[in-house]
Structure 1
């Protein structure tokens, strides 16, 4: 795709079209429902911004979302997966979207990305996890839109990944699902977010938590930001929450206040709750 082709195509796309494509580039997979919540806003929500437009009713927003996605699909800018969330009963809301080949090439030229994506149907586990991460990212943007918090930064994989020198001298990687900075009043809170689907043994999750401890011990993040983020482990149920809390408590090498386990239903409260004001004050040992 030449720059002339890019310019011609961009001229034909609206701000909302571009915003939809950028969201899929950032979060990889999104359902129609998630894209609607970001870019096709029901009128009871806050003012339009970042390519989002308000609609008189939720039904009107849903119709507009499918109309736009259908147009982008016909041009190869987005593509739907074979599997949909919730089955046939979910209707268009459960369709899972990713960038199409043309959309991927367009954004690769715009952003200067060197690597070309291979288009294969992802596994069910990958789809479920990626959509769960997208749900949390959308919630953070909705909290910002509602004026509850200010979202100063939001990074998904691989932008959220951090490299550091481990104690043995080799380069290691921390690979959170999301990194976010939220602000409320004078307080600024930094977050690493891990979306857990309950598919791994708690001991495996503990090993992931130990990577955070090694990253904290390296001092890399503190040198740049002056603090180390809280690590939010978002789980699907109360039973899973209890299991991870017990596993973390049994591991003496973990810093207890650094790791906060919450259910999906509790995530928003964690971000905006009074206790959060203290979480960003965690320093490296």
Structure 2
């Protein structure tokens, strides 16, 4: 796509159209409901009216191959349009790649069910952060999605390691900034896997790289579907004497908004 084609296409798109494409670029997959909550929350008298407007815009973008829907609906056919899951279409991918000056093409294919579920769970956290911002509960200073939020570091034995959070966010409430590494947990990983990842966080914290840049180390939060999973992960982390418990939190999805709004309330390492 050359600059002339890009300029011509952009002239036919609204700011909201481009914002929807950018959201899909950042999160890879979004449901119709996610897109409604992100981009159609204002200006409609009812949720059904906003939902209708959302779907009309998405169908228009789809007709130009800017977005495409997955064959599988989240929640099955009975979920209706709210269960449609969207990703960038080929034209949308080329447009944004040209706008951002990138050459490497990202291929969008029909993802697996497990990838879809986890990607949407991470997107849900980002949407909740945006809603807290829009309600003026917090200020969202930055959000980094995968792979931008990944960190490489040299481990204690001199080998290169990677820390791969699902999401990194910096929020502010009152006089404080709060830094977060967020992990969307769907209760599909065995607890020892979570403990091993907690130890990767500890090894990264031990390098001091993040603290040198930001003056603190983020709170690491696993967001789980229910209290049973919460208790399971808390027990697994507590049972390992090598775990630095002040770094980690395990909360349910229902508790997530309150955690972010309150800024913790601890640990002190996550506040600046």
Normalising by structure 1, report the TM-score: 0.92
Deviation at 1:59, TM superposition (A): 1.4
* Structure 1 residue aligned with 2:37: 37
How far the C-alpha of 1:113 sits from its partner, in A, is: 2.6
Partner in structure 1 of residue 97 of structure 2: 108
Partner-residue secondary structure (3-state), 1:82: coil
C-alpha spacing 1:97/1:252, structure 2 compared with 1 (3 Å): same
Q: Which residue of 2 aligns with 1:279?
A: 267
Task: Say which of 65, 80, 98 aligns to 2:69.
Answer: 80
Query: Residue 95 of structure 1 corresponds to which residue in structure 2?
Result: 84
Confirm or deny: 8 A CA contact 2:31 2:86 kept in the other structure.
Answer: yes
How far has the Cα of 1:282 moved from its partner? 5.0
**Among residues 139, 147, 150, which one is paired with 2:139 in the alignment?**
150
Question: Deviation of residue 88 (structure 1)?
Answer: 1.5
Query: 1:82 deviation in Å?
Result: 0.6
Whether the 8 Å CA contact 2:144–2:169 is kept in 1: the answer is: yes
Q: Residue 240 in 1 paired to residue 229 in 2? A: yes
Cα pair 2:66 2:88 within 8 Å, conserved: yes
Deviations 1:28-56 (A, max 9, x none): 000000100010115xxxxxxxxxxx212
Structure 1 unmatched runs, 5+: 43-53
The CA distance in 2 between the partners of 1:82 and 1:193, in whole Å, is 29
- RMSD, aligned α-carbons: 1.3
Is the contact made by 2:29 and 2:85 (CA closer than 8 Å) also made in structure 1? yes
| 1:205 aligns with one of 194, 208, 230 | 194
Q: How far did 1:119 drift?
A: 2.8
Aligned residues: 271
Does the 8 A contact of 1:189 with 1:277 survive in 2? Answer: no
Pairwise CA distance, 1:114: 2.9
Q: Distance in 2 between matches of 1:111 and 1:253?
A: 43
Aligned to 2:181: 192
After the TM superposition, which residues 261-276 of structure 1 pair with which residues of structure 2 at under 5 Å, given as runs?
261-273=250-262, 276=264
C-alpha displacement of 1:277: 4.4
Distance 1:62 1:138 in 2: 16
Contact 1:189 1:279 in 2 (8 A): no
Partner of 2:216: 227
SS at match of 2:108: coil
Following the alignment from structure 2 to structure 1, what is the Cα–Cα distance between the partners of residues 30 and 61?
14
Note the C-alpha offset of 1:173. Answer: 1.1
What runs of 5+ residues in structure 2 fail to find an aligned partner?
Answer: none
**Match of 1:26?**
26
Q: Is the 8 A contact 1:188 1:277 kept in 2?
A: no
Paired with 2:107 and 2:261, the residues of 1 have a C-alpha distance of: 39
Contact 2:187–2:225, Cα closer than 8 Å, also in 1: yes
1:115 CA displacement: 2.1
